Structure 1
Amino acid sequence: MSGGPLDGVRVVDLTHALAGPYATMLLADLGADVLKVESPAGDLARRAGPYPDGDELRAFGGYFQSVNRGKRSVVLDLKTPEGAAALRSLAGDADVLVENFSHGVMERLGLSYESLCADNPRLVYAAVRGFGDARSGRSPYLEWPAFDVVVQAMAGLMGITGTEDGDPIKVGPGIGDIYPGTMLALGVTSALYEARGTGRGQFVDVAMYDAILALCERIIYQHTYTGAVPRAEGNRHPLLSPFDVLPALDGWVAIAAPADSRWRTLCDLIDRPDLAADPGLATNLLRVARRAEVFDALAAWTSGRTKEEVLAMLGGRVPVGAVRDAAEIAADPHVAARGMVVQLDHPGVDGTLGVAGQPLKFSRTPAVPDRRAPLLDEHGAEVRGELAERRSAFGPDRVAS
């Protein structure tokens, strides 16, 4: 893809699994030329599935496709002098390098930030790890490996997710990876913007723990302002009412009307003038104190109606939405209107398959994913040709084969 707001930006992508590839997928969607550097074995996510029916090639599954679309692939063995030298050459001509190895790996390979930026002072070097990099603050967990569920647990998300009397529950999507990856993409674009004026890159560091703690920002001020230790409260909100997930005849609906004017509108729509007239429910703060009563009143109304009936009566007047599954989302006209499922080729099967689209919309420089994920080393010959051209131009001591 070309023409996006990052058209012309060259990214060397050393990431694997989810957090790092999600960050570089965002950059690729935005138009950057992202070169995914893989070991001879390839990113383990290639073998994670799911695979579509009839795909006997199994070059990659939906997981890999979703977060590696739009990238090129080259195989380099960074443990060999030749592979490390080739990577150094690629970084020397790049705007950005992104990696999510364990702390210290790049240093052991002789490819540290300091070494690479000495060759290319404008390089933005970005890293996402479980507990960050010592350059930004040495965590006592620096050497600990981390996964999504680990940082959801440690950074507070699971502590406020679940029912009041139940066990902690992780959030469904891999938010412990995806949100840090999103933050890293923001950090990279910010550093690129700054480098346009100074000509100097910098080290950009996101810890998965830090990102999820930032996502849980409410628990911090609740604790520092009041001394409270927030706990799981099901689908309710400790500071807003109504802000609930309520039963319907065929599922569940979410209703959020904490603003006092919205509350009065809601009471009118469900034909409960008594609720609107109750001075003890007149403000959000008062409703929070009686939120169980508010929930029961609304549930009595929603439970006798289907999801679509609730939406038909409340939609556009108060914030309301049905709890939907993937099939219902795929059929939602909003998703089609906003291009939020994009169709990509998949090696090994005829036709295209859908992945989640790009929520960033630009009026002049569209960021629309339109190229599938690469086969392993699919662009290797192309990249090695580029390296050979540079060797001819700058001499063999500058570029490895």
Structure 2
Amino acid sequence: MSITPGGALAGLRVIDLTQMLAGPYCTMLLADQGADVVKIEPIEGDPTRHFGPFRADDKHHHFGGYFQSTNRNKKSIGLDLKSPEGKALLRRLVKDADVVVENFRAGVMDRLGIGYESLAAENPRLVYAAIRGFGDPRTGASPYVDRPAFDVVAQAMGGAMGITGPDAVTPMKIGPGIGDIFPAALSAFGIMAAVHHAQRTGQGQFVDVAMYDGILAMCERLVYQYSYTGKSPVPEGNQHPILCPFGVFPCKDGMVTIGCPRDSFWRELADAMGRPELASDPKFLTNNDRLAHASETVAIVEEWTRGLTKAEIAAALDGRVPFGPVNTAADIYADPHVAARQMLVEVEHPGSAKPVTIASTPIRMTATPGGVGRRAPMTGEDTDEVLAALGLGAGEIAELKARKVVA
């Protein structure tokens, strides 16, 4: 049974062999919309269960915040995939599944004898998705295929770090794990496209997203900039290379963002700043004019924002010019938008007396809303249920647990 009943993906059966962030985030997106996601973990559990932070009163440490956030709505079964019995059980699970997702290095599943071709031979409609640092040879052999990769590597190689930073010579890592999360979202999209094809034709396929490729696609602007100008874009600080003004500005109690992607917004901003003459000044008339005088334009806006608080700037610009304060986590928790959109959700945390808060799904649907219906599972919490559904009896399951084939 789906843990998020009534979701748009109710009835979709997903076998999740992923660990760390990219793979679990992908399958989380599917689970949030009602897919029945069975997480296959090593007997000792997913290594990320040991990543914090942990609640002060949690003495059990079944998992920390890292695992809780991206493994909600899933079932868990511990399975030794190196044992013949473990592989046989995986095959039985996959035989009736719609999707398999894994993010091991290329060739790992093949060497275990449970790669795509082997599983698809028994389930031709299977959609098998892989998220790897540099892709899979099935769709294009990268010279880096054997390299391990994580978020920071994808950010660096895909171009994100090269256009992020305080100045032209200081690249910086972006705060969130976009090197994992954006490829994960692309993979979820690819999976659903392949599932749609499989439902129409009965033909499954291999879906491959390289983390490098995903970040390169996200940084599409640097590609066309280089093509059009012949120059490699560099870190641009808190302003924009094409739009002006468009960036971050200091104020009395922090920082705010202001963007004028259209000239009409600049006219509104000039009026709000008490400088209506700027709207007709030839130096600032159009975006390209302002870009040619970017330093002066930014300085004018900064002079205005420095003398005001976030609230005062909001009062002056709200509804007229794109604007937003630079929020801390505490600001986000207090924001009425976040409350109205129910973007923070409380879930149980085993071992802690109080619930914890995690980010909810931003994907909203009127008929099939989806959402967070259950905390992350403990290792093997659903093993009995999942194996019983395959027809195994209680004694047989107990014997497999005793031999550490399952957990």
Q: TM-score range, shorter-chain basis?
A: over 0.9
Measured in 2, the distance between the counterparts of 1:78 and 1:280 equals 67
Aligned residue among 178, 190, 194 for 2:193: 190
Within 2, Cα distance between the matches of 1:32 and 1:349?
28
Q: 1:217 aligns with which of 215, 220, 223?
A: 220
For residues 118 and 380 of structure 2, the distance between their equivalents in structure 1, rounded to whole angstroms, comes to 26
Q: Compute the displacement of 1:273 (Å).
A: 1.6
| Cα deviation 1:147-176 (Å, max 9, x = unaligned) | 110111111111000022552110001000
Say yes or no: does 1:113 pair with 2:107.
no
Deviations 1:121-157 (A, max 9, x none): 1110000000000001000000000011011111111
1:386 and 2:389 aligned = yes
Residue 350 of structure 1: how far off its partner (Å)? 2.2
Distance (Å, rounded) in 2 between the aligned partners of 1:237 and 1:18: 30
> How far apart are the structure 2 equivalents of 1:79 and 1:165?
49
Query: How many Å separate the matches in 1 of 2:82 and 2:198?
Result: 31
Equivalent residue, structure 1, for 2:35: 32
Aligned partners of 1:19, 1:141: CA distance in 2, in Å? 18
| Alpha-carbon distance in 1 for matches of 2:233, 2:335 | 35
Q: Pick the aligned partner of 2:52 from 49, 54, 61.
A: 49
1:272 Cα deviation after fit: 0.6
The gaps in structure 2 that reach 5 residues or longer are: 394-404
Looking at structure 2, the residues matched to 41 and 57 of structure 1 have their Cα atoms a distance apart, in angstroms, of 15
Structure 1 residue 274: deviation in Å? 2.3
Partner residue of 2:22 out of 19, 22, 27: 19
**Structure-2 residue corresponding to 1:323:** 326
Q: Partner of 2:316 in structure 1?
A: 313
* Correspondence for 1:368: 371
User: Are residues 1:104 and 2:107 paired?
Assistant: yes
Contact (CA 8 Å) 2:349, 2:356: kept in 1 or not? yes
Shift of 1:49: 1.0
Task: Provide TM-score, normalisation by structure 2.
Answer: 0.95
Q: Return the alpha-carbon distance in structure 2 between the equivalents of residues 334 and 175 of structure 1.
A: 24
The answer to whether residue 70 in structure 2 is matched with residue 90 in structure 1 is: no
CA–CA distance in structure 2, aligned partners of residues 4 and 112 of structure 1:
30
CA distance in 2, matches of 1:166, 1:375: 45
Partner of 2:175: 172
2:62 paired residue number: 59
Distance apart, 1:258 and its partner CA: 2.5
1:76 and 2:79 matched: yes
Which residue identity does 1:240 align to in structure 2? L
Conservation of the 8 A alpha-carbon contact between 2:16 and 2:102:
yes
Whether 1:254 and 2:257 are equivalent positions in the alignment is: yes
Q: 1:295 pairs with 288, 298, 302, which one? A: 298
* 1:44 alignment partner AA: P
Indicate the percent of aligned positions where both proteins have the same amino acid.
56
Structure 2 CA distance for aligned equivalents of residues 370 and 388 of structure 1: 27
CA apart distance, 1:389:
5.1
2:162 is aligned to 159
Alpha-carbon offset, residue 40 of structure 1: 1.0
Query: SS where residue 281 of structure 1 aligns?
Result: coil
Query: Which stretches in structure 1 are left out of the alignment for 5+ residues?
Result: 391-399
Aligned length: 392
CA RMSD of aligned residues (A): 1.2
**How does the TM-score come out when normalised to structure 1?**
0.96
Q: 1:24 & 1:338 partners in 2: Cα distance?
A: 23
Hey, what does 1:397 align to over in structure 2? none
1:349 is the counterpart of 2:352: yes
Determine whether 1:266 maps to 2:266: no
Aligned to 1:396: none
Q: Could you give the per-residue CA deviations for residues 297-330 of structure 1, whole angstroms, max 9, x where no partner exists?
A: 0000000011111111111110000001000001
Q: Deviations over 1:226-271 (max 9, x none)?
A: 2121001101111001102001001000000130111101101111
Partner residue, 1:394: none
Report the secondary structure of 2:54's partner residue.
coil
Deviation at 1:370, TM superposition (A): 1.6
- Residue identity matched to 2:331: E
Paired AA for residue 258 in structure 2: I
Secondary structure in 2 aligned to 1:74?
A: strand
Task: Tell me which amino acid in the other structure corresponds to 2:360.
Answer: G
Instruction: Tell me which stretches of 4 or more aligned residues in structure 1 moved more than 3 Å.
Output: none
Cα contact 2:169–2:234 (8 A) shared by 1: no
> Counterparts of 1:171 and 1:326 in 2: how far apart (Å)?
16
Deviation at 1:42, TM superposition (A): 1.1
Partners of 2:259 and 2:323 within 8 A in 1: yes
In 2, the alpha carbon distance for the partners of 1:74 and 1:318 equals 51
Listed one character per residue, the Cα deviations across residues 253-296 of structure 1 (whole Å, up to 9, x for unaligned) are: 00001301111011011111221120121111111111111110
> Does the 8 Å CA contact 2:253/2:309 hold for their aligned counterparts?
yes
Deviations 1:185-233 (A, max 9, x none): 0011111111111011111000000000000000000111221210011
Shifted more, 31-40 versus 275-284: the winner is: 275-284
Letter in 1 for 2:33: L
- Please tell me whether residue 143 in structure 1 is matched to residue 146 in structure 2: yes
What is the SS of the residue equivalent to 1:135?
Answer: coil
* Counterpart amino acid of residue 245 in structure 1: V
Alignment counterpart, residue 240 of structure 1, candidates 236, 243, 257? 243
Q: Residue 402 of structure 2 corresponds to which residue in structure 1?
A: none
